[in-house]
Every structure is written in structure tokens, then in C-alpha cells.
């Protein structure tokens, strides 16, 4: 398999990641709003729909790791130093988030039954730092993409907005991020260069 084919498959992975993020957000809306939630966070985390949401996020973040490689390679020359740093921080943040999702899928159900007070106490510092790394990395990656002009301008802008909104603890707040990632992934998979001009290297 050639490097160009691997990059295209990265685009497909990004499309899948975006779709799974959107599905997970609608599950979150169901769990915390439509289904009435519960008096405590642990009440929601003990339910089967929450387990589905956590699994969707885990699969989405794993695909996002692969998709990020393709998204970066496509704009690596034009994105410059900011693109490289954004890629590295976004990759680290996404990898850390995979660990958080793994915990949500396999550990949280046990804690919800055996020690719900731990879940109701709020997220520990490690989880907060993982999400902050994710948000900062993808924000930087989005800014680099906007400057590099390899992907559609509106997709890059939506990624920037989505990275910021992803830090808001509300249902559907990550939908813009999912749409942006899927949009950029579709461009990558189709092999299109959408800039009207030859992209110039930025620093």
C-alpha cells in the first residue's frame, strides 16, 4: 500500500471518527436530558445507554488517532512549525482521551455499582489535563489548517470553533468538532486540494 493510499485511508478514519462523535453526542443528549438523567452522575453512568455512549467515544477517538496522521501528512509542508506542534499536542491529547474512554467503558460501570461516590466527586486532575491537552492540540491544529489553506476554509474554522466548544460540558457541544473532522476527512479521502492558490509554507 502506497503512502498516498494510507493518507486516503486516514481520511476515511477521520470521517468515521466524526460520525461516531456526533452519534455519541446525541446519546449524551438522551442520557442527560431526554431520559431525565438522575440525581447523581453515577446514576446515569450505571445505565446501558451511557455504556453505548462511552463505547462510541472510545471507537471514535481510536479512529481519530489514525485520521489525525492522514490529516497532518496532507498539510505538513504548508502547515509549518505550528502544524507540527499542533499535530503532536493533538495526538498526545487524543491518545490520553482514549485512555479516559477505556476507563469509561470498562472501569466506570464497576465503580458505579461498587463506589458511586467516587464518580459523584467529579473528574480527577488527570482527566481534566487530558481533555485540556486534547482541546489545545486540536485548536492549534485548526489554526494551522486555516493558515495552510489545504483544507476548506470553513472546515478549518469549524474545527477551531469545535475545539473550543468541546470543552463546554453540555450535550451536543462536540457536534461541530465531529462535523469539522468528518468534513476534512472527506476532502482528504477524495484527494482534493481545495485552496485556490498553491499553499505557502507558514511558520
Q: What pLDDT is stored for residue 197 in this prediction?
A: 43
Dist CA 176 CA 162 (whole Å)? 5
Confidence of residue 198 (pLDDT cuts 50, 70, 90): very low
Confidence of residue 202 (pLDDT cuts 50, 70, 90): low
Q: What pLDDT is stored for residue 165 in this prediction?
A: 95
State the DSSP H helix or E strand holding residue 141, giving kind and residue range, or none if neither.
helix 125-148
Q: Is the pLDDT of residue 192 over 70?
A: no
Q: Give every CB contact of residue 53 below 8 A, 6+ residues apart in sequence.
A: 24, 27, 28, 31
Q: Is 123 helix (H, G, I), strand (E, B) or coil?
A: coil
Q: Is 132 helix (H, G, I), strand (E, B) or coil?
A: helix
The pLDDT tens digits for 24-69 are: 999 999 998 887 666 688 889 999 999 999 999 999 999 999 999 9
The pLDDT tens digits for 128-163 are: 999 999 999 999 999 999 999 999 999 999 999 999
Give the C-alpha distances (Å, rounded to integers) separating 111 from 50, 77, 102, 121: 14, 46, 14, 12
- Whether the Cβ atoms of residue 190 and residue 135 lie closer than 8 Å to each other: no
The pLDDT tens digits for 75-121 are: 999 999 999 999 999 999 999 999 999 999 999 999 998 999 999 88
Q: What pLDDT is stored for residue 41 in this prediction?
A: 87
Assigned C-alpha cell, 162: 469545535
Amino acid at each position: 500500500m502506497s503512502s498516498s493510499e494510507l493518507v486516503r485511508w486516514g481520511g476515511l478514519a477521520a470521517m468515521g471518527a466524526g460520525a461516531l462523535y456526533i452519534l455519541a453526542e446525541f446519546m449524551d443528549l438522551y442520557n442527560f436530558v431526554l431520559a431525565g438523567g438522575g440525581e447523581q452522575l453515577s446514576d446515569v453512568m450505571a445505565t446501558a445507554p451511557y455504556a453505548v455512549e462511552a463505547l462510541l467515544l472510545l471507537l471514535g477517538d481510536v479512529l481519530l488517532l489514525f485520521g489525525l496522521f492522514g490529516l497532518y501528512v496532507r498539510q505538513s509542508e504548508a502547515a509549518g512549525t505550528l502544524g507540527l506542534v499542533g499535530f503532536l499536542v493533538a495526538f498526545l491529547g487524543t491518545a490520553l482521551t482514549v485512555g479516559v474512554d477505556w476507563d469509561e467503558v470498562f472501569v466506570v460501570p464497576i465503580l458505579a455499582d461498587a463506589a458511586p461516590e467516587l464518580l459523584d466527586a467529579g473528574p480527577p486532575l488527570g482527566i481534566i489535563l487530558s481533555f485540556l491537552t486534547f482541546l489545545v492540540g486540536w485548536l492549534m491544529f485548526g489554526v494551522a489548517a486555516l493558515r495552510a489553506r489545504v483544507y476548506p476554509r470553513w472546515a478549518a474554522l469549524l474545527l477551531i470553533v469545535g475545539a473550543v466548544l468541546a470543552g463546554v460540558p453540555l450535550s451536543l457541544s462536540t457536534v461541530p468538532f465531529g462535523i469539522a473532522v468528518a468534513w476534512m476527512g472527506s476532502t482528504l479521502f477524495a484527494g482534493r486540494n481545495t485552496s485556490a492558490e498553491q499553499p505557502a509554507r507558514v511558520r
